[in-house]
Amino acid sequence: MMGGSITPEPFTRSRAHDDLIHTASTLIPGGTTTSAIPVPGLEFIIDRGEGAYVFDVDGRRFADFFMGSGPLVLGHANVRIRTAIERAASAGTTHQGLHRRTVELAARIVDLVPCAEQVRFCTSGTEATLHALRVARVHTGRRKILKFDGAYHGHHDLAVWSIGGDSNSLPSPTPESAGVQHGVAEDILVAPFNDTEFFRTIMDAYSEDVAAVICEPLQRAIPPAPGFLEVVREVCDRSGSVLIFDEIVTGFRLSPGGAQQRYGVTPDLATVGKAIAAGVPYAAILGKKQLMDHFDHRRARECLSFHCGTFSGYYLGAECAHETLDILVNEGGIDRLNELGELARDAARSCFRDLKKDVQVCGDGSLFEVYFTNQKVCNQADIRRSDQVYAKAFHRKLIEAGIYKSSVKAYLSLAHSQAEIDAYTDACKWAVKTLANR
């Protein structure tokens, strides 16, 4: 396995598999429905997942570094999560009124997460950031939202701006989707991540207007520069803007209290999702009581922030979250994840150093990404300046080599081990060599 001399089996599909791909593209626009975009020519339909691996319908195995885009922090089909699902299913999965275990989960979260004084659960990260942003507007009576270029906060109208698109127009946003309500764009400001000066300037200019600054404390795979989050916190305090940490990715993954605990900066509101329930849809809005209180439906209309959702009280999600927190927090899971992340980043660095390929290996905790550039990567503009054409070709090769990973970032889970990290670096070596021989 070690040594980088692998030659993967050619990527092939059975006739039946081709038919399924065809059916998928006939019934589902783009042949995808969730968060991964199939690579043309290398599409595959998933039959099952097990630990750190997924298997397509032909039985071809992929080491999974996508992990459902983050939620599968314990790996696929974790046996304790399966038991939790079975337990919850037998009591009915969702009800009007909260389950005892859901209330206990809220107490647990409030104990763990620095900013959390109260909790509201919802179904998806998208719902969570939508409600958090609306609370900030209600609280401040202001409308503008500042986000960072390249950050992803779901796909409601306030979120679909300046993610992958160009950054020439900052602080004006670039739309990522058609069909968004007009007028929303006027409320969005975009700043480069990790650029303290830009942030201060833009916040000075709009200090009376910004309801919320929303940020991924670890933006995609880019860690905050020392002092950056502190400046964001201090400027928000000064301008009276609500600071929201979107911890959908980092919550319960980077540390028991999420990125806010790891980086030592406490926001006013935070959103969590993904890892919280190890794969089943579940999310939450957390924050200071004076903000969360706006959700109280008995409040006068001027200070009410409407929140509603059929599956918000999803008991099965709570049951899975308890099990996940047992493993991640009480049994040292997060420490192991962080250790795996260090191993993976070290392995990637040494692999590309051996290959004499200029890369930046970024990430924190159990998240990492390799950017093809010799320049330091601090924000989305740096990613755009990296060799994205090469990255695209490289990721095609990874799939051929049996590594399932998006080009945004790699996720590790507790089902991963040195063996999968080795498989990843072996695949990297093969990909780089194959691309060099084209």
Partner 1 sequence: MHTLSKLRELFPDGSNGEFGFPNDLNIIVERGRGAHVWDANGRRYVDCSLAFGAVLLGHADEDVNSAVVRAAAAGDNFGLVSTEMLLLAERLVSIIPCAEKVRFCTSGTEAMMYSIRLARAATGRPLIVKFEGAYHGATDIGCASLVPDPTSNAPAVTRLDRGGSPGLEAELLVAPFNDKVFIELLMAERGDEVAAIVVEPLHRCIPPAPGFLETLRALCDHHSTVLIFDEVVTGFRLALGGAQEYFGVTPDLAGYGKALGNGYPIGAVVGKSELMDLLGENRLGRDDYVWSVSTGGGCTIAAGAANIAIRRYSEAGFHSRLFAVSDELRTLIDDRFGSIGVDAQVLGVGPLLQIVLSSHPIRNSRDMAHPLAAAEQQLMIEAVRGGVLVNPLGTKIYLSAAHSDDDIEFVADTIADAWTSTGLGARTSKLHG
Cβ 131 to partner 1 shortest distance, Å: 7
135 is an interface residue for partner 1 by CB under 8 A: yes
419 is an interface residue for partner 1 by CB under 8 A: no
Query: Nearest 5°: phi and psi at 18?
Result: -55, -40
Total chain residues near partner 1 (CB under 8 A): 118
**Residues 63, 102, 222, 254: which binds partner 1 (CB under 8 A)?**
102
34 is an interface residue for partner 1 by CB under 8 A: yes
The DSSP H or E segment spanning 121 is strand 118-122
Helix (H/G/I), strand (E/B), else coil: 48: strand
Tally of CA atoms within 13 A in the half-sphere of 417 that contains its CB: 4
| Gap between the Cα atoms of 438 and 21, Å rounded | 28
For tokens 């040494």, name the residue: 350
95 is an interface residue for partner 1 by CB under 8 A: yes
Closest by Cα among 172, 175, 239, 165 to 206:
239
16 is an interface residue for partner 1 by CB under 8 A: no
Amino acid (one-letter) located at 320: C
| Gap between the Cα atoms of 330 and 324, Å rounded | 10
| CB-nearer residue toward partner 1: 215 or 275 | 275
Query: Nearest 5°: phi and psi at 55?
Result: -125, 130
Cβ 133 to partner 1 shortest distance, Å: 7
82 is an interface residue for partner 1 by CB under 8 A: yes
CA 249 to chain centre: 3
Tally of CA atoms within 13 A in the half-sphere of 59 that contains its CB: 0
Cβ 161 to partner 1 shortest distance, Å: 11
| Gap between the Cα atoms of 18 and 58, Å rounded | 10
- The first and second tokens of residue 248, run together, are 């959908």
Cβ 335 to partner 1 shortest distance, Å: 24
**Residues 4, 6, 60, 93: which binds partner 1 (CB under 8 A)?**
93
29 is an interface residue for partner 1 by CB under 8 A: yes
**Residues 5, 48, 238, 418: which binds partner 1 (CB under 8 A)?**
48
85 is an interface residue for partner 1 by CB under 8 A: yes
130 is an interface residue for partner 1 by CB under 8 A: yes
391 is an interface residue for partner 1 by CB under 8 A: no
Of the listed pieces 87-95, 194-202, 363-371, 423-431, which binds partner 1 according to CB under 8 A?
87-95
119 is an interface residue for partner 1 by CB under 8 A: yes
| CB-nearer residue toward partner 1: 176 or 387 | 176
| Gap between the Cα atoms of 377 and 359, Å rounded | 10
Cβ 142 to partner 1 shortest distance, Å: 10
**Residues 13, 52, 54, 148: which binds partner 1 (CB under 8 A)?**
54
Tally of CA atoms within 13 A in the half-sphere of 345 that contains its CB: 21
Cβ 56 to partner 1 shortest distance, Å: 9
Site pattern 292..331 for partner 1 (x: CB under 8 A): xxxxxxx--xx-xxxxxxxxxxxxx---------------
| Gap between the Cα atoms of 109 and 125, Å rounded | 16
Of the listed pieces 7-15, 17-25, 192-200, 416-424, which binds partner 1 according to CB under 8 A?
17-25
| Gap between the Cα atoms of 116 and 124, Å rounded | 18
121 is an interface residue for partner 1 by CB under 8 A: yes
Helix (H/G/I), strand (E/B), else coil: 12: coil
**Residues 13, 63, 112, 124: which binds partner 1 (CB under 8 A)?**
124
Among positions 172-191, residues that touch partner 1 (CB under 8 A) are: 176-184, 186-187
Strands (DSSP E) contained in 295-381 are 360-364, 367-371
